[in-house]
Amino acid sequence: MGIFEKFGEYYDLIYRGFKNYENECKALEKIFTELSKKKPKSVLDVGCGTGSHALIFARHGCEVAGIDISKVMIEKARVKARKEKAKIEFSVQDMRKIRLSRKFDAAVSMFGAIGYINSYEGLTRVFSSIKRHLNKDGLFLFEFWNLTGIRPTPYQRWMETKDKKITVYRLSETNLNPHSNILTLDMKFIVLKKDKPVETFEEKHLHRCYTQAEMRHYLENNGFRPLAAYDWDAEDVTELKEPKRETFRILAVARKS
């Protein structure tokens, strides 16, 4: 089973209480104001998932397009956009070879989506692909998982989330390979409807982690000028704090050279 093939169906429910999309977009727009030479009018959401960030940017007046490799996630995003009558171009695409007929003032890639690219060769292709779709001086803001902030949990943890109709239990375990710096997330799911199990499934996610120095080096070698980095673990990300050594989620900001 591919990643997010089943997980994608329950993604919004599972992260409903964890992700504060409004606050994250507020922080991103604050960064746009501080670091962009002009306020972006168009945004490309790379690894957009179910479109939650993209929808907020659209509500705030931006022209938005979103791409994701998961068909399930893109279909969820399209349904949400139709409900809001938002004109967002969502398409199933690989971030290593984006094919869109326009360029954007800014690109974002949130919730560690870029970590699914497990090799430097692949990361180079991602940077090149995004660079081709940015206007002159376009900004690229993306979240990555910081190697020095990793705290693997080589034991299983339960998480429960529910709405009026569905309860989802997720059993997860993480392990870091110290040679490849790839964090493996093994997840098992149990889905209940009216307190009766209706399905179970498993997914394995391989996520490449980086140090800040590595990411800066890779950006500079691939046509981007690093501008800033922020602590994306912070209770209020709009405060735009500098990341610490133990910060797990870091938001990097770079400008197309």
Count of structural domains, the chain: 2
The candidate with the shortest Cα–Cα distance to 66, out of 24, 100, 112, 27, is 100
Q: d(Cα 72, Cα 250) in Å, to the nearest integer?
A: 27
CATH number of the domain that residue 195 is part of? 2.20.130.10
Identify residue 162 by its one-letter amino acid code: K
CATH number of the domain that residue 22 is part of? 3.40.50.150
One domain for residues 44 and 167: no
Is 161 within a domain? Answer: yes
One domain for residues 155 and 86: no
Is 1 within a domain? Answer: no
Residue 143 has φ and ψ, to the nearest 5°, of: -100, 135
Q: Where are the alpha helices (DSSP H) in the chain?
A: 7-14, 21-35, 52-59, 71-84, 120-132, 212-220
Tens place of pLDDT per residue across the chain (257 aa): 567 788 889 999 988 877 899 999 999 999 999 998 788 999 999 999 999 999 999 999 999 999 999 999 999 999 999 999 999 999 999 999 999 999 999 999 999 899 999 999 999 999 999 999 999 999 999 999 999 999 867 678 888 998 888 999 999 999 999 999 999 999 999 999 988 999 999 999 999 999 999 999 999 999 999 999 999 999 999 999 999 999 999 999 999 98
Provide the domain limits for residue 142.
Answer: 7-147+210-256
Is 84 within a domain? Answer: yes
- Give yes or no for a contact between 187 and 122, defined as CB atoms under 8 angstroms apart: no
What dihedral do alpha carbons 30, 31, 34, 37 form, nearest 10°?
A: -120
Q: d(Cα 155, Cα 248) in Å, to the nearest integer?
A: 19
One domain for residues 214 and 202: no
Is 2 within a domain? Answer: no
One domain for residues 190 and 94: no
